[in-house]
Structure 1
């Protein structure tokens, strides 16, 4: 029995080690994530293509497809043209992950009957042309700059769709895309060459106006118009209080003998 227990424990240890190795190979960034940062469980979301789908939902699915159409070849160029081992690894990771995301997108589009493009748009093709002409450090700067800027633009758009869509398949794709984009932004920033000062800033909050609102103006006007009626209101209030006091005395006077009679019977007085 002791030998059986030792063999079982050894098998469990080997199984745990093998599982850890597989996880590291398949998703190194996820395994290395901080333990106190939650990862949203995708198995809690349905994916049946149910719910109304808006024009914004369809546009989102198309844009996720477009992202893969230029970021996959850009990542392949990074492995060929960059002299930096770090940039090569970033390019490979982003290209591989976009291949996975592209499959998720095509499956969602098929379920939702959304037509997808097969070529990058004009801007994306221009970025690829820039990378194709650049070499060495110039390539690294262009690759990191273009991808980081693109991810910064799509990031809030994904959040809007995730929060507002009525369709469960779009909702799940948005959640998945959000995880990919956050990972890619982190990988790009780990290069150490992102020019954060050149990134567009968030719009300023709406400034508070000095003019009072219409509701406040209306309340003030009502207060002013009622100021002339204050003496009348006070007189009416005083009259009401006097009438109330008189009525109370009458009621108490009428009920007092009965109250005393019941009290005397109860206490034997």
Structure 2
């Protein structure tokens, strides 16, 4: 009896070792994806890190201009939120760039430098400055928020997913304080070309331009199909293992009974 029980346990161990790899192996997402311990790192995740870094390179300085040049307390409050939010996101995005091996830009794009120049050239304490500040930044944050939502929805990388969530919280806070200034013109859809803000950045080093919108998001439909297929294979493997265990158990238990019956 002990020998047969040992045989059953050995068979179960072998079957489980054969079934597990197929059930839990990561799907192949293609050459644009890099496997990491946090899940596959794809183009959308890399684009997001680059864009968050680019945003910090001009929105943090814009916040400081709001504090220095505006006499409107609501604009100054928005400036404080921008500085605090981008200090946090800048530190985190640089850390993630190192962890996930994503090179990040070191200077703002040409368009972003132009928006900073507009604020710099506007008279201090003027309504003109406050309007430029509120509308440029509100339009930029609106475009980034939409892009982050797409990445958050589709990514399979847990670090990117968590960071996208935090970025969306910070960006939404900035949108709200900018709108609270009362200076946002919701009819001014041309204030900043939102398509350019949400576009994937060029492959790093120093980034000077932001291309037209064509975000590379993970193939969520294919991922769902692969996950469904993997789940089906795992379930089938477990059914087979259960059937084999049941058969061996019945054979082990039933055989001695038949032997005793024949001797009687």
TM-score calculated relative to the size of structure 2: 0.56
Structure-2 separation of matches of 1:49 and 1:81: 46
| Structure 2 residue 63 is matched with structure 1 residue 79 | no
| Structure 2 residue 76 is matched with structure 1 residue 94 | no
- Give the Å deviation of 1:199: 3.1
Deviations 1:181-236 (CA, angstroms, capped at 9, x unpaired): 11110010000111112237x9xxxxxxxxxxxxxxxxxxxxxxxxxxxxxxxxxx
Please say if residues 49 and 112 of structure 1, whose CA atoms lie closer than 8 Å, have aligned partners that are also in contact: no
Structure-2 separation of matches of 1:90 and 1:124: 18
Partner of 1:154: 144
Partner of 1:62: 50
Count of equivalent residues:
155
Please say if residues 131 and 143 of structure 1, whose CA atoms lie closer than 8 Å, have aligned partners that are also in contact: yes
Partner of 1:137: 127
Structure-1 separation of matches of 2:159 and 2:188: 35
Partner of 2:157: 167
Please say if residues 71 and 147 of structure 1, whose CA atoms lie closer than 8 Å, have aligned partners that are also in contact: yes
User: Please, what is the CA RMSD of the aligned residues?
Assistant: 1.8
Matches within 5 A, 1:1-16: none
TM-score calculated relative to the size of structure 1: 0.55
SS at match of 1:198: coil
Structure-2 separation of matches of 1:138 and 1:99: 27
Query: Which is bigger in relative contact order (C-alpha 8 A, separation at least 6)?
Result: 2
Structure-2 separation of matches of 1:183 and 1:146: 16
Structure 1 residue corresponding to 2:99, chosen from 108, 111, 116:
111
Partner of 1:195: 185
Matches within 5 A, 1:39-50: 50=38
Q: Which runs of 5+ in 1 are unaligned?
A: 1-47, 203-269
Structure-2 separation of matches of 1:93 and 1:170: 23
Q: Whose Rg is larger?
A: 1
Partner of 1:123: 111
* Residues 49 and 102 of structure 1: CA distance in aligned 2, closer, same or farther (over 3 Å): farther
